[in-house]
Amino acid sequence: MKPLHARYPFLAPSRTAVEEADVDLVGLIREDGPVVERAVERVTGALRDGSIGNAHPGTRVELLSYPVARVLVSLVDERICTRKYAHAEATRAISLFSAARNDTAELASARTERLSLSDLFAEFDLADALREDEEGYCVAVGTYLRLVSDLWGDEWRLVNRTLAGGEVTIASEELYSLLEEAISQRVSDGLPLSVPEEIAAPLESRVETVRSVLSDLDLTREIDTVVPERFPPCMKALLDSIQKGEHLGHHSRFAITAFLTSIGMSTDEIVDLYMVNSSFGEEMTRYQTDHIRGETSPTEYTPPSCATMQSYGDCVNKDEICEDEINESHPLNYYEYQLEQADEDELVDWREENGDGETATPD
Ligand code: SF4
């Protein structure tokens, strides 16, 4: 088992390494030691803040915790859990991959094994479906549609793309988004696994732990109070940009819209709120908002975690609540904390203040 296998446990060579090591996975699970501990951390971290947490220093523990985490996710058997877990694994893998590519010191080291772009293309059968050109990359349309099937945002829709000769053009910086999707699909592939009783029984209390984290998330989604002055700084800044009529990138629009739906705003209220900005067409805003709240899609999306907000440059004006109280975990946690701290009479819901159907923007 090599460090590269532990870094990218979803790769075929990593699976082979686990098989060849002939590990007694049932024994390891019964032992309930560091491998199970790390597996729980992978899944609960993914649910809490979209991150699978720091790697265990031991290559063997880190690698073996991946199949155990997939077993845990299978036993929980909730689509939101599988989806968030797969997404967190993919985000971590792409972040490691991109950091290693940019790390010239590592490049110089002949002893450090690295994953190349062509390795990833080969792993996901993309070598024949993807080629570089002067504008970025050209992707075979069938492959493109498969990879973007779960990606939110109108820019991924085929009608908004250049399609020529059966190929879709993407910008170089969009390649990582597609690779992330390929990894996420690989991680969730085959889930839920059919888990035999001899493995399920010793994991019972661990599954309960994951379920309890999942139910906390559901509670968070039940916030139904809109008090913009209590929003986290990142969401205040995004709202401010909308009010100023500025153009927002795909991830920023997704983040603020998912935040507003999560705190109980209706599609009509969000459409009203965005109307001040001419770059938000009513029809598209309605479509995107309904998609995010799960009315026209199989998934009810939650806003990105602080880690994801940071990676897209949307984490701005961090304050002491971000640093001390929520430990930069999730903008919804920030908002929930703020609502808990406030006196009841301080919390005037923006919707009550602005009356029925009146178009207004929060300060
Ligand atoms: S730390 Fe989190 S809540 Fe605070 S500004 Fe950044 S993304 Fe928002």
Q: Under a CB-based contact definition with an 8 Å cutoff, are residues 35 and 28 in contact? A: yes
Q: Cα 107 to chain center, whole Å?
A: 28
Q: Give the span between the Cα atoms of 338 and 320, in whole angstroms.
A: 12
| Per-residue pLDDT reduced to its tens digit, 58-97 | 999 999 999 999 999 999 988 778 888 999 999 999 989 8
pTM of the model: 0.62
| Single-letter amino acid, residue 352 | E
**Spatial contact of 53 and 12, defined as CB atoms under 8 Å apart:** no
Strand partners, 140: 167
Matching residue, tokens 């839920």: 192
- List, for residues 16-41, the tens digit of each pLDDT value: 999 998 889 899 999 999 999 999 99
Q: With a 6 A CB cut-off, is 318 part of the ligand 1 pocket?
A: yes
Nearest to 91 by CA among 214, 179, 192, 5: 179
Residue 232 alpha carbon, nearest atom of ligand 1 = 3
331 CB near ligand 1 (under 6 Å): yes
* pLDDT at position 305: 85
What pLDDT is recorded for position 62? Answer: 96
Amino acid at residue number 325: E
Dist CA 83 CA 170 (whole Å): 25
What separation, in Å, do the N-terminal and C-terminal C-alpha atoms of the chain show? 56
Q: How far apart are CA 316 and CA 310, in angstroms?
A: 8
pLDDT along the chain (363 residues), means of 10: 91 93 90 96 92 93 96 89 91 89 58 80 91 90 88 76 92 90 92 93 95 74 81 96 88 93 91 84 88 73 85 92 83 88 78 57 51
Q: What is the pLDDT of residue 110?
A: 45
Could you list the residues known to form a binding site for [4Fe-4S] cluster, using ranges. Answer: 234, 306, 315, 322
Q: How far apart are CA 233 and CA 256, in angstroms?
A: 12
Q: How far is the CA of 316 from the centre of ligand 1 (A)?
A: 7
Smallest CA separation from ligand 1 atom 8, residue: 234
CA distance linking residue 250 with residue 109, whole number of Å: 37
**Helix, strand, coil percent content, the chain, rounded in steps of 5:** 60, 5, 35
Q: Which residue, judged by its Cα, is nearest atom 3 of ligand 1?
A: 331
For ligand 1, say whether the CB of 231 is within 6 Å of any of its atoms. Answer: no
